[in-house]
Chain A
């Protein structure tokens, strides 16, 4: 496969961007509060705790030394302790990550499945009345604040109709043995429904419009006409040839969409009290819990950067013109 060489170049790029973002974070959190130590030490920590952290992060050393210690700590997964929860940030982040990922991926998969089918359908029905209604409608879904949509759905389906719970991942007092047990429970699914629906409605616009646009272009290509001249069935022509080609850019957009979806997560998690990275970031910033804020931001950034790389690789992998150059 000849896409391995550009893959290593992309990997280098990923490392570079990651390093840059981490560095920006370092300087932001050290320089902005005024007191560089405020990045890791809360005045209410015990003296022993303060001393441990001082040593761990070299907070009494010059800034550039602190920088390398910081990088070293990062590589070991050491992110300091949360001011509010008095526990290691890394552990807390990892425990919240699955909740966010489940919400992100489930809503995105629904959005893409719907968007691709609807987009292909609209391309098929070009110029019809359906199209004239559907397109502005789709643009409107992209124009609405996701949290507002969440609010409306909550007000209607939870508070008024009582069909779905109002927030969280499970009922009060319920406990599960493992993530797996939690995620496969019906209780979880009813809690997941509204926030996932909110994000899905917001995100489906991109794959829909992209798929439609690609299909319209591809349908004009010669090989589609040839497929008809060969007498192949409509299904073969439209699905196996046109859609398969049109799908390429849409699939790669999926990877990038994960990055953008995560940002949508931030507000939606807050509306639905979903215990994920987004809500944690908001709470941490509100409470000036710097280590936790930094950790949450970093986790989100890592996923975004990784997904950008996946998008690039995916394109090279899926398009034979690149993978078999």
Chain B
């Protein structure tokens, strides 16, 4: 049943800015198992969206994949010729964009845009496509009558359902969802996430869910990959990552999010400071300037990913002390003063 569908290894994506270059993603590595939902989480600027887009090979004009591999079913997406990559697009790898009004063409009906992928990319005939449209709408819970409507006639939540239907159209193996519920209100968020999870389980699709919201990850993701400043800080099952984090950053993240169900005693403690400027990142561990557990070594040597358990990796020099550090991290005072 399972196997590794996608293996990102040491991925580096660089942006040409002015005369210099910024590595928005600098040596990121993580795996996605077939049939699982992986959460790619981190704050703005950590590189998660860049990774998501790099997987589709549709990136900004001034961006380039400058290192690493993205092994999808054994084939390196980073090295594929454009024609072969294009054959994969949408058929094997689909994308759900952020809930932006603008991700659907305003001058065509939703049905037209569905047919566009079904017929142009899926080679379906008219009747077959029609049936599939209705099937897809049924799957996402939108009335088939609305196929003839234009994007602006849908509410935000409905539009996201349409986006999901679009992504499912050609039965892809992998769906990358970039902040799919960020712009929706909490109740609709939950509905969409439930739907997504339900479909994923039924159809056996693998999903990469990019988000900055840890509660989303906690809600439906099987595994969690935490990114910071262009690198992967930690990756583990969601349970391990959130309940037994081994990287100080993840420990800090936990404190910064309110727990809807938990005790009211939790004080929100943000992590002091800000992520480094990627134009001139610090040598060594990038979290060092903000880390309460920093040692001298952290400031000069880049921490390699270390196995905390077989399926749990953390890029920290002090990963073996994780248990003890966790205890200290739970106290709010640890985070008050920047290291």
Q: Is any CB of A less than 8 Å from a CB of B in the complex?
A: yes
Chain A residues in contact with chain B, CB under 8 A?
221-223, 225-233, 236, 241, 244-245, 248, 319-321, 324
Q: Which residue of A lies closest to B101 (CB)?
A: A222
Complex Cα distance, B87 from A157, in Å, reads: 53
Note all chain B residues with C-beta closer than 8 A to A236.
116, 120
Between A and B, 10 residue pairs with Cβ closer than 8 Å are A228-B58, A229-B58, A229-B89, A230-B121, A231-B90, A231-B91, A231-B121, A248-B107, A320-B107, A320-B152
Question: Which of A223, A225, A229 meets B90, CB within 8 Å?
Answer: A229
B334: interface (CB < 8 Å): no
In this complex, the member of B58, B100, B117 whose beta carbon has the largest number of chain A beta carbons within 10 angstroms is: B58
B56: interface (CB < 8 Å): yes
Question: Which of B100, B106, B117, B149 meets A245, CB within 8 Å?
Answer: B106
Note all chain B residues with C-beta closer than 8 A to A228.
58
B150: interface (CB < 8 Å): yes
The answer to whether B152 and A222 touch across the interface, beta carbons within 8 angstroms, is: no
Note all chain A residues with C-beta closer than 8 A to B97.
222, 226
Whether A221 touches B102, Cβ cut-off 8 Å, given contacts A226-B97, A229-B90, A230-B117, is yes
Q: What's the minimum C-beta distance from A304 to chain B, rounded to whole angstroms?
A: 29
The answer to whether A231 and B106 touch across the interface, beta carbons within 8 angstroms, is: no
Q: What's the minimum C-beta distance from B238 to chain A, rounded to whole angstroms?
A: 27
In this complex, the member of A223, A228, A245, A319 whose beta carbon has the largest number of chain B beta carbons within 10 angstroms is: A223
Complex Cα distance, B95 from A229, in Å, reads: 7
B128: interface (CB < 8 Å): no
The answer to whether A232 and B150 touch across the interface, beta carbons within 8 angstroms, is: no
Interface flags for B261-281 (1: CB within 8 Å of A; 0: not) read: 000000000000000000000
The answer to whether A223 and B102 touch across the interface, beta carbons within 8 angstroms, is: yes
Note all chain A residues with C-beta closer than 8 A to B120.
232-233, 236
In this complex, the member of B95, B97, B107, B117 whose beta carbon has the largest number of chain A beta carbons within 10 angstroms is: B107
Complex Cα distance, B107 from A226, in Å, reads: 15
Note all chain B residues with C-beta closer than 8 A to A324.
149-150, 152-153
The answer to whether A222 and B89 touch across the interface, beta carbons within 8 angstroms, is: no
The answer to whether B91 and A222 touch across the interface, beta carbons within 8 angstroms, is: no
Known: A231-B91, A245-B105. 4 other contacts (CB 8 A): A223-B102, A225-B58, A231-B89, A245-B106
Whether A222 touches B102, Cβ cut-off 8 Å, given contacts A229-B56, A230-B89, is yes
Q: Which residue of B lies closest to A247 (CB)?
A: B107
The answer to whether A319 and B102 touch across the interface, beta carbons within 8 angstroms, is: no
Question: Which of B107, B116, B152 meets A244, CB within 8 Å?
Answer: B107
Note all chain B residues with C-beta closer than 8 A to A321.
106, 150, 152
Complex Cα distance, B107 from A58, in Å, reads: 55
Complex Cα distance, B151 from A221, in Å, reads: 15
Interface residues of B in 109-156 (CB under 8 A from A): 116-117, 120-121, 149-150, 152-153
Complex Cα distance, B106 from A175, in Å, reads: 52
Interface residues of B in 77-100 (CB under 8 A from A): 86-91, 95, 97, 100
In this complex, the member of A225, A226, A227 whose beta carbon has the largest number of chain B beta carbons within 10 angstroms is: A226
Q: What's the minimum C-beta distance from B98 to chain A, rounded to whole angstroms?
A: 8
Whether A231 touches B150, Cβ cut-off 8 Å, given contacts A236-B116, A319-B107, is no
B220: interface (CB < 8 Å): no
Q: Which residue of B lies closest to A223 (CB)?
A: B105
